[in-house]
Structure 1
Amino acid sequence: MKVSVYAPLLSRLLAGPRPYVGTLVGLVHDDRAHVLGCLLDHVEGGTPGVGSELLDALPGGLAPLGVAGDSDGRLEELALLSTVISLLPAGAQRAVVLSVSGGEGEGEPEPTAALFLYGDGELERTEFETFGAEQLRAQTVLLRLEGALSLRCKPGCEPLAEAFDRLKRTLDSPVTCFVQPEANRLLRAQDDESAPEGSCSELAGRRSAGRAQALFKLMLQRTGLVESRPAGGAPVIEYCRGRQQLVDLTLPISCVALVAAAAPLAQAAAALSEAALRQLAQLRTVITDVYREKERVVPAEPLHFNPEECGHYVTLVYSAASDDEKLESYRRNVHAALLLAADRPLFRRANRHRFDDQSPFLTNVHVGLSAPRQTAGQTALVRGTYVYHHYMQDRMDDSGWGCAYRSLQTLASWFQRQGYTGRAPPTHREIQQCLVDIGDKPASFVGSRQWIGSTEVSYCLQHLYGVESRILHVSSGADLGSKARALLRHFNDEGTPVMIGGGVLAHTLLGVAFDEASGEASFLVLDPHYTGAENLTTIQNKGWCGWKDGQFWDQTAYYNLCMPVRPRCV
């Protein structure tokens, strides 16, 4: 069996905390194991906790493939793989063992990874390849499943358990079907014989972010199948009149699965079935835990998250009884288990991934642009998602005076999209009212067409969102290149967009490229003065978002840069 490892995962494993042991998860197809993720076990030593609840948070189709850990002198410990081997997917006869060593202290060599295959009680070292995000998207199909299940039972932990058991048996039977409306296709759970011929690549109805996707609807067949029951008696119906309490709750099903594009269609049905069963297990855990605490059934909602560092989606179920503050410790555990830094929110409700984003405005319009003119040196860009706000949006004619307002809206959208706040970007009037409320402007400022600058933008970010900013002063546009190092540090450390104002114009900076040897600098500029339609081709081709050299700026005007500092939190 050949093995390939997702490159960003390998980087996280090499830089991970010591000591650690975790479960490797991924796909197996055509005698090759593709390792996509790792779930850390927080119990030092021993067999990895593959039964942890986070395994249910992974897409259907991803399965335990082996273990990873810092194994200096502990390789035998990592070889205790009986639990993992029992859960290996079909086609994986041996478990993968990824061992990290070195790099723990000053003067130590850089950490390295060695890979072994474990089977029949023996470890065999083998070579492995790495692959990146583009290759992953090109070779897989993302399957989405939407639907609902009805939970009906008497109140109580035992009736709840029995009701969830019934739903599990239903999902794990041939009465469960997956319908793809776009292709008029039906796949049936637990029925490989009736699966149509072909590969999963045929399922792709559309592409999103470079990845093939297919949407399925969950359907339970009510007629035409006879459910197997033990023989030996006739059904008896007992009719009793009276009043009693009944739990009647609709469980939302929204799950994802990942399959190799070249895999047979039967694997798609199996992956969707696995995804539905995993989500039912999550709903059961969350709803039952809340019932034990509050003695009432509270709805719960599955939310999808897509951290850029991961090669897969993470689906978590949050109860309506728990707000983001109450879930903070749980989110920290999720960050730690997935080897993700705990300095930015990734799993708040506001971080949820929306597959069908109905926003009328464009996001991340810099993606797809050519590299800056100079190829040498360093480049640093905004990290995360922002919304491009510009003149004439929201039926607001602010041409000639609202550029800084629009830049502030773009900055605010970044904090909203990254989950730091649930508050939408402020309107022009809300910005003006904020400046009046803090005493910076007179009451007559509200409703006016007066400009604002970088300092006012920083005031609004602090007052409305609790975000602090650094103000960088530049004596002239000709001197902006001397601040390239400071901008590099900002985009590498903070990753937030920057508002720059000078003369009578304001712009948004999304990145910087700087060649230390020549001193040449280029700036990725997002221009809020655009007045056209939401057309990405026009915006990029006409330079409304693009790389600009130092001559773009007014060589004699004084500039201030508002550089927001992101809070360190989860």
Structure 2
Amino acid sequence: MSLWLGRHFINTGGGGWREGNRGKKGLSHGFRRRNLDRVLLPPASDSPVKLLEGPSMELVKNVHSGLPLPEPESDILRLSLIRGDYLYYHYGCDGTDDCGWGCGYRTMQTLSSWIILQQTNRKNHRVPTLKEAQEALVEMEDKPPNFIGSKTWIGSFEIALCIDKFYDVPCKLVHVRRGGELLQKVDELYLHFDTLGSPVMMGGDNDNASKGILGMCSGAENHYLLVLDPHYSGKTLDKGYAHREGWVAWKRLDLFDQNSFYNFCLPQWKGL
């Protein structure tokens, strides 16, 4: 089943597709990739940046930079990554204890930081707080008034609504009926990173932990997603620790829950 929601083309493929609380609105669809030369992991500055008001900790910029490839470089057939800077938002990074429910909000904040850092003339130069995101969803009538101040988590659809409202950036939503079909989306995800290079949010039902996706890699044996995990909680971490502990890591497609559906939220803004 396909329908339009504002500037968002929605293709649900039938059945329930929305993570968490079912909503009354909508998902998207693919187009063909073009081949580009293989690229390498970009160098990046580690200078901490704050885009939240209040007592937020210093956040790591471009936490994936320097991460080893998932297979020996001689075996890498294709690699495509995020373009431009972003900040790693995670549990508790603004002093709010959101462990167990805030991962979707934190992924939204990471995507927001990327949008802000791409353009100095954006209408909004702040990353929304968790409460501001809740207020926006109530204002858009996607959630009831008692959603504000709750510990109800959000998924790809709500993140698309927030990104569009706060930054006037539409998002493409892609539905995968089960993890065993992720392989069918390889070309579409490569197309996204090759042509736009924006970070992606990934959510699901059985596997309902929100994730940031920063790139794709294909080696001699497997396809991989570069996963940014917002579930870290603690003091400011450095990139080396994040790499060692797997807070940013390559994950084979066949290691995702093969019976969970997945949704991807792809901001339609081109990276620098």
TM-score (norm 2): 0.74
1:379 to 79, 87, 102: 79
Amino acid at match of 1:370: P
1:100-115 equivalence runs, <5 A: none
**CA offsets 1:155-182 (integer angstroms, 9 cap, x no match):** xxxxxxxxxxxxxxxxxxxxxxxxxxxx
Matched, 1:502 2:200: no
Aligned ranges 1:228-247 → 2 under 5 Å: none
Inter-CA distance 425–521: structure 2 relative to 1 (3 Å threshold): same
Shift in Å, 1:560: 0.5
Instruction: Specify the alignment match of 2:63 in structure 1.
Output: 365
Q: Distance in 2 between matches of 1:358 and 1:364?
A: 11
Contact 1:391 1:528 (C-alpha < 8 Å) held by counterparts: yes
Counterparts of 2:216 and 2:230 in 1: how far apart (Å)?
Answer: 18
For 1:75-90, what aligned pairs fall within 5 Å after superposition? none
Q: Is the CA contact (8 Å cut-off) linking 1:390 and 1:406 kept in structure 2?
A: yes
Determine whether 1:541 maps to 2:206: no
How far is 1:358 from its partner? 5.2
Amino acid at match of 1:395: G
**Structure 2 Cα separation of the partners of residues 560 and 482 of structure 1:** 13
Aligned to 2:94, what secondary structure does the other structure show? helix
SS in structure 2 of the partner of residue 364 of structure 1: coil
Secondary structure (helix, strand or coil) at the match of 1:395 reads: coil
Secondary structure of the equivalent of 1:562?
Answer: strand
**Structure 1 residues not aligned, in runs of 5+:** 1-133, 138-207, 211-355
User: Contact 1:498/1:562 (CA < 8 Å) preserved in 2?
Assistant: yes
Residue in 2 aligned with 1:91?
none
State which of 100, 103, 124 in structure 2 corresponds to 1:400: 100
How far apart are residue 565 of structure 1 and its match?
A: 0.4
Question: Hey, what does 1:409 align to over in structure 2?
Answer: 109
Partner of 1:458: 160
C-alpha displacement of 1:535: 1.7
Q: Which residue of 2 aligns with 1:554?
A: 257
SS of match in other structure, 2:188: helix
Conserved 8 A contact 2:224-2:252: yes
CA distance in 2, matches of 1:567, 1:523: 20
Query: 121, 124, 128: which is aligned to 1:426?
Result: 128
- Do the aligned residues in 1 keep the contact of 2:134 with 2:148 (CA within 8 Å)? yes
The root-mean-square deviation of aligned C-alpha atoms, in Å, is 2.3
CA pair 487-358 structure 1, distance change in 2 beyond 3 A:
closer
Q: 1:399 to 1:357 in 2, by over 3 A?
A: closer
Q: RCO greater where, 1 or 2, for CA within 8 Å and sep 6 or more? A: 2
Report the alpha carbon displacement of residue 514 of structure 1 after superposing the two structures with TM: 2.5
Question: Is the 1:471–1:561 Cα contact (8 Å) retained in structure 2?
Answer: yes
Q: Taking every aligned residue pair, what percent have the same amino acid on both sides?
A: 38
Q: Is the 8 A contact 1:485 1:514 kept in 2?
A: no
* Contact 1:458 1:468 (8 Å CA) reproduced: yes
CA deviations over 1:57-102 (Å, ceiling 9, x no partner): xxxxxxxxxxxxxxxxxxxxxxxxxxxxxxxxxxxxxxxxxxxxxx
Query: How is 1:433-452 mapped onto 2 (pairs within 5 angstroms)?
Result: 433-452=135-154
- Contact 1:411/1:497 (8 A) holds in 2: yes
Counterpart amino acid of residue 158 in structure 2: E
Distance 1:413 1:448, change over 3 A: same
Distance in 2, Cα, partners of 1:545 & 1:435: 29
Q: How many residues align?
A: 217
Cα deviation digits, residues 375-412 of structure 1 (max 9, x gap): 33210000000000011111111111110100000000
1:430–1:209 distance in 2 versus 1, CA, 3 Å: closer
Give the structure-1-normalised TM-score.
0.36
Q: Distance in 2 between matches of 1:512 and 1:446?
A: 36
Paired residue for 1:483? 185
Which residue of structure 2 aligns with residue 528 of structure 1? 230
For the Cα contact (< 8 Å) 2:48–2:61, is it kept in 1?
A: no
The residue identity in structure 2 corresponding to 1:544 is W
Say whether the 8 Å CA contact 1:467–1:567 is kept in structure 2.
no
**2:198, 2:270 within 8 Å by CA — same for their partners in 1?**
no
Distance in 1 of aligned mates of 2:252 and 2:246 = 12
CA distance in 1 between counterparts of 2:174 and 2:156 reads 9
Distance 2:246 2:261 in 1: 23
Q: Distance in 2 between the 1:412 and 1:393 partners?
A: 15
Partner of 2:13 in structure 1? none
CA distance in 1, matches of 2:270, 2:134: 25
Unaligned runs of 5+ in 2: 1-41, 51-57
**Contact 2:195 / 2:270 at 8 angstroms: preserved in 1?**
no
Q: Distance in 1 between matches of 2:225 and 2:234?
A: 23
Seen in structure 2, the aligned counterparts of structure 1 residues 363 and 567 have a Cα distance that, compared at 3 Å, is: closer
Larger Rg: 1
Q: Do the aligned partners of 2:104 and 2:154 also contact (CA within 8 Å) in 1? A: yes
